Amino acid sequence: MAQPVAIITGAGRGIGRAIAVELARRGYQLVLTSRNEAELRETARLSQPGAMIAPADVADAQQLRDVAERALETFDRIDAVINNAGYAPVRSIETVNDVEWQSILDVNVSAAVRLAKAVWPTFRKQNSGVIVNISSKASDDPFTGLGLYGAAKAALNVLGLSLAREGKEIGVRVHTIAPGAVETAMFRTILTHEQYPTDKTFSPSDIAKVVADCVTGSPPQPSGEVIWMVKNHQPGAVEKIKKKLFGS
């Protein structure tokens, strides 16, 4: 049987890199994409030296289609897509501009729509496929300043449910994972270790294991349902965030 193939967006570091390591360990051939080729090569070195490196901006529809086409041409199959790329600028409704808002939508939601559309014919032909979307607890209860990011991730949650329903008849599963704070560079641009200790966060590998379980057919929740991953919040964390961001 041919080795299964997984496309991972945002694969250059953090959660994406951890997902690559875990899926490689479970026997998947990897297609790694992000904007930073050097980071992708490091991910490949750590996970699977023979992985396909496919630098691309997920906000660009044509670049995403090219990634899917290259993967299919190379491996003649696509078994899983992990929509991990994210963009979370800290903005209030008064400070966000149109370009930033469009980027929030493009990276967090539109990319998932476009990549699903690109691989759907292959999934239909194979009568199988898995999509895993990385959402956020912000989609349910955002920290102050992350409401716009949370709104985009809430849309991703609904997209996952919709795609799960569409995909059921052709053997496609869709899982959406919504973790709380994860120990990544992106999270640490928002809060320091003093403001939000590491023992209150998930590690990227924690998320990666759940992703891999979903991909390999052992998800903690049925297709379409959001998988919430939340640790107890530090008392007073929201107040500290408000003070840091807005001085109140």
Which residue ranges make up each domain of the chain? 5-246
Comparing CA positions, the residue from 66, 203, 199, 210 lying closest to residue 133 is: 210
Q: Which positions are annotated as active-site residues? A: 149
Whole-number Å distance between alpha carbons of 79 and 216: 10
Contact indicator for 40, 32 with CB cutoff of 8 Å? yes
For residue 241, pLDDT beyond 80: no
pTM: 0.91
Taking the alpha carbons of 137, 18, 111, 215 in that order, is the dihedral positive or negative? negative
Q: How would you class 188 by CB atoms within 10 Å of its CB: exposed for 0-12, middle for 13-18, buried for 19 or more?
A: middle
Per-residue model confidence as pLDDT tens digits over 158-172: 999 999 999 999 999
Give which of 149, 139, 203, 147 is closest to 176, Cα–Cα.
139
CATH 3.40.50.720 fits 5-246, yes or no: yes
Using 50, 70 and 90 to split pLDDT, how confident is the model at 194? confident
Tokens of 112: 């998932």
Average pLDDT, the chain: 93
What are the backbone angles phi and psi of residue 9, rounded to the nearest 5°? -90, 155
Q: Please name the residue ranges forming H helices in the chain.
A: 14-25, 37-47, 61-75, 98-105, 111-126, 147-167, 185-188, 204-215, 237-246
